[in-house]
């Protein structure tokens, strides 16, 4: 799932990710994303650090409170260590700088996926 107020960012990410193996949902707000998550939790959520309707740390906590867990990756327009640490403390697994290209997005998702598998194997 891609959660971003920017149509352009959502469309670019969806075009990169969508395939026969991967269904990609896109929404413009945190509330819309949480409504979708209540019905079917995605495996991975890319979320903008500046949601129009809620703080990203609140969004990450609400996603983390769900019985089925999801990987949450916060997208930022500039490197902000404080914002990254707040998101990680709330439960985010990683971050990605915007604008991103195919290689950067795929590397971020692979890193998040393998880091989670390594933690669960311990």
Give the total number of structural domains in the chain.
1
3-class secondary structure for 12-50?
Answer: HHHHHHCCCCCCCCEECCHHHHHHHHHHCCCCEEEEECC
Counting residues of the chain whose pLDDT is more than 90, the rounded percentage is: 77
User: What is the pTM assigned to this prediction?
Assistant: 0.88
What pLDDT shows up at residue 27? 97
pLDDT digit string, tens, across residues 53-77: 999 999 999 999 988 888 999 999 9
Work out the mean pLDDT of the chain and round it to a whole number: 90
Counting residues of the chain whose pLDDT is more than 70, the rounded percentage is: 92
> Which CATH number is 92's domain given?
3.40.50.2300
pLDDT band at 49 (very low <50, low <70, confident <90, very high): very high
Does residue 122 surpass a pLDDT of 50? no
* CA gap 82, 63 in Å, rounded: 21
Does residue 121 surpass a pLDDT of 50? no
Structural domain for 68, as ranges: 2-121
Give first-to-last CA distance, the chain, whole Å.
28
Does residue 119 surpass a pLDDT of 60? no
């Amino acid at each position: 799932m891609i959660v971003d107020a920017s149509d352009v960012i959502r469309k670019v990410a969806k075009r990169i990710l969508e395939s026969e193996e991967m269904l990609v949902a896109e929404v413009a707000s945190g509330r819309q994303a949480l409504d979708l998550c209540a019905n079917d939790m995605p495996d991975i959520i890319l979320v903008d650090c500046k949601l129009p309707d809620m703080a990203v740390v609140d969004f990450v906590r609400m996603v983390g409170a769900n019985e089925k867990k999801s990987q949450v990756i916060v997208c930022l327009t500039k490197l902000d260590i404080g914002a990254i640490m707040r998101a990680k403390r709330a439960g985010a697994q990683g971050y990605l700088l915007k604008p991103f290209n195919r290689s950067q997005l795929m590397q971020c998702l692979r890193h998040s996926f393998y880091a989670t598998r390594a933690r669960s194997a311990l």
